[in-house]
Amino acid sequence: MAEAPTVASTVRDMRRAGAASEPVPAAVVQVWAQTLLTQLYGTQKPVRYECKPRHSTEPWRPAEMGEVTHYRRRKLELRALYLHPPAGKHKDHRWPAGSNGQGKCLDCGETEWLAGPDCRPFAPIRDHRSDTPFSLTWLIEPLEKLQYLTKHMNPLDRAKWRTETTYLIDRIKDHAKGSQP
């Protein structure tokens, strides 16, 4: 009994056929394509679908459900993107109860009809501004300058800005006193 062809044996056969520079029958090419698709992608669902208008140079964009099911009618090009889950790190999706195929995964937010083989929640976005040191007391000097420059304003604005800056300076000083050990 012959073993099923592998990706390595298929690529080897393709290289030999290319080196021979002879025409390859369509049935053989079909077997090669089928082998590569089943061996590389298996029975997994596409991770996502992307579409763009047919015969256009627009970039690919994520496809919605109606665009996937009726892409010919809407004159779209459609492509399915596959991704093998890493070995040993497979995580199943968690669907809400009673979603009937229309729900979103509770962890990664993928829709049920479009979800790939495993759940990959997004990492929380890190705010890099917190990496830089910052002290509220650094604002006292600019606020004092602003308070000084109010002498060039009309009386109504001057009173407003002096009140605001005085209030902020006092709050910052109170906070600095309370946060020191």
pLDDT tens digits for 102-137? 788 888 888 877 777 678 787 777 767 666 677 888
Which of 60, 44, 63, 64 shows the shortest CA–CA distance to 52?
60
More confident residue, 86 or 175: 175
pLDDT tens digits for 21-58? 889 999 999 999 888 888 877 767 777 889 999 988 88
Q: Is the pLDDT reported for residue 181 higher than 80?
A: no
* Angle made by CA atoms 143, 147, 149, in degrees to the nearest 5: 115
Beta bridge partners of residue 77, listed in sequence order = 52
Q: How confident is the model at residue 166 (pLDDT cuts 50, 70, 90)?
A: very high
Report CA-CA distances (Å) from 8 to 14, 27, 120: 10, 19, 29
CA 51/CA 70 separation, integer angstroms = 11
Contact between 136 and 175 under an 8 Å Cβ cutoff? The reply is yes
Q: Is the pLDDT reported for residue 138 higher than 80?
A: yes
Q: How confident is the model at residue 82 (pLDDT cuts 50, 70, 90)?
A: confident
pLDDT of residue 94: 84
| pTM, rounded to two decimals | 0.30
More confident residue, 1 or 89: 89
